[in-house]
Amino acid sequence: MSDHGNALLDKPQVSGPLPSAPALTRRRLPRWTPLAVALVSIGLGVGAGSLAGWESRTQWGLIAALLFVVITYAVTSLVEDRRQARDRVATSVIWVCFVLAVVPLVSLAWTTVSRGAKLLDGYFLSHSMGGMTNLEEGGGVYHALLGTLEQVGLATLIAAPVGLLTAVYLVEYGRGRLARAVTFFVDVMTGIPSIVAGLFVLAFWNLGLGFGPSGFAGSMALAILMMPVVVRSTEEMLKLVPNELREASLALGVPKWRTILKVVIPTSIGGIATGVMLAVARITGETAPVMLLVFGNTLINPNPFSGAQESLPLYVWNQYKLGNAASIDRAWAGALTLIAFVMLLNLVARGIARWKAPKAGGR
């Protein structure tokens, strides 16, 4: 490394004064070049596509993108140099990546909203599927909404305290092997596929203890999925609480448990609430464990502890499986209800995070 540097430094001395002062600026392409190249390549892409008679607009786009990259490289390496050309190609590839990703995601959002809005109204939200034949139009999502709220609420009641206390343990008490084991297994638990959590509760609760399907069984599986998320986020938030606060409280003779309850947790309560709500949002959309354990029901069953229930994601899946025009419409409307619910939770959670953010927070 140092040899290399010296060689660079020595060079001017060896070669003596340069024959002619090098230009400080190089030849550069004008600023509008990318736009011009884009227009040309789109024109060529559309031209080639329509001449060859290809129907797929995606194909036209791909050809245009390819042309754009090639033309940019050629023009830049002619006018500027190879390094600049490579830089421009990299820039355009990264833009293409961005566009590539945005297209399906926008399409997903647009399709859900436009097709779901057709059926989504007060009637849809306030009626169940009771007494309906599969092909009939109408019906609603009330029973599923109720089921989802109950199952997710129960799961939160189980998972939030356990997750919170575990995080407190890891941050405030945890030392040694137990804490390391808990940390590791929380990480591992984050990655459990939802269907495996469902299978576990099935093996334990339904096959092992002989209970039938119920909302509560689903809640247990959802709680397993929720716990590690709550632990992770709460842990991060508790770590953000400055140590000076703890020390000040302890120095005043306050017991440790009161320090945690009255100083540490209130300081980070915004972040903790955000984490819990994001976890709730995550489990609300889980379909697989609910399908195994809650089973689905077309009637309103307000009791989560006995009998099959419905839930929003399960409703979408069941209506999709029926496969006729009316049920597909209902599936989209259910999907829109679900996505609206999840997004609302997300937005509120992030709102809380911004509102109550500790000074050290934020990236």
- Residues between 263 and 302 that touch other proteins (CB under 8 A): 278, 281-282, 284-288, 291-292
Burial 2-33 (b: 16+ CB within 10 A, else e): eeeeeeeeeeeeeeeeeeeeeeeeeeebeeeb
Determine, following the binding rule CB under 8 A, whether residue 67 of this chain makes contact with other proteins.
Answer: no
> Which residue is it, tokens 């941050």?
171
Q: Residue 211: CB partners within 8 Å, gap ≥ 6?
A: 205, 217
Q: Which of 29, 44, 48, 96 binds other proteins (CB under 8 A)?
A: 96
Which is closer to other proteins, CB of 43 or CB of 161? 161
Shortest gap between Cβ of 74 and other proteins (angstroms)?
17
Shortest gap between Cβ of 340 and other proteins (angstroms)?
11
Determine, following the binding rule CB under 8 A, whether residue 320 of this chain makes contact with other proteins.
Answer: yes
**Axis-axis angle for helices 82-116, 325-355 (nearest 10):** 120
**Axis-axis angle for helices 312-322, 142-168 (nearest 10):** 140
Which is closer to other proteins, CB of 16 or CB of 321? 321
Shortest gap between Cβ of 235 and other proteins (angstroms)?
7
Stretch 32-61: interaction string toward other proteins, x if CB under 8 A: -----------------------xx-xx--
Scanning residues 195 to 224, which ones bind other proteins (CB under 8 A)?
Answer: 195-197, 199-200, 202-204, 207-208, 224
Determine, following the binding rule CB under 8 A, whether residue 322 of this chain makes contact with other proteins.
Answer: no
Q: Which of 60, 142, 216, 317 binds other proteins (CB under 8 A)?
A: 317
CA 303 and chain centroid, separation: 31
Q: Residue 295: CB partners within 8 Å, gap ≥ 6?
A: 213, 308, 309
* Among the listed residues 156, 173, 152, 286, the one whose alpha carbon sits nearest the alpha carbon of residue 235: 173
Q: Which of 168, 226, 352, 353 binds other proteins (CB under 8 A)?
A: 168
Which is closer to other proteins, CB of 42 or CB of 96? 96
Helices (H), the chain: 2-15, 33-52, 57-79, 82-116, 122-126, 142-168, 176-190, 194-201, 215-240, 243-251, 256-259, 265-267, 269-284, 288-293, 312-322, 325-355
The Cβ-side half-sphere exposure at 196, using a 13 Å CA radius, reads 7
Determine, following the binding rule CB under 8 A, whether residue 359 of this chain makes contact with other proteins.
Answer: no
Determine, following the binding rule CB under 8 A, whether residue 3 of this chain makes contact with other proteins.
Answer: no
Q: Which of 70, 101, 125, 157 binds other proteins (CB under 8 A)?
A: 101
Shortest gap between Cβ of 129 and other proteins (angstroms)?
17
- Interacting span for other proteins (CB under 8 A) from 14-22, 128-136, 211-219, 333-341: 333-341
The values of phi and psi at residue 357, to 5°, are -60, 135
Three-state DSSP at 45 gives helix
- Interacting span for other proteins (CB under 8 A) from 34-42, 133-141, 233-241, 298-306: 233-241
Determine, following the binding rule CB under 8 A, whether residue 189 of this chain makes contact with other proteins.
Answer: yes
Shortest gap between Cβ of 76 and other proteins (angstroms)?
11
Determine, following the binding rule CB under 8 A, whether residue 179 of this chain makes contact with other proteins.
Answer: yes
Which is closer to other proteins, CB of 74 or CB of 181? 181
Stretch 104-143: interaction string toward other proteins, x if CB under 8 A: xx-xx--xx-------------------------------
Please give the C-alpha separations between residue 141 and each of 86, 92, 308, 309, 318, in angstroms, as whole numbers.
54, 46, 15, 12, 12
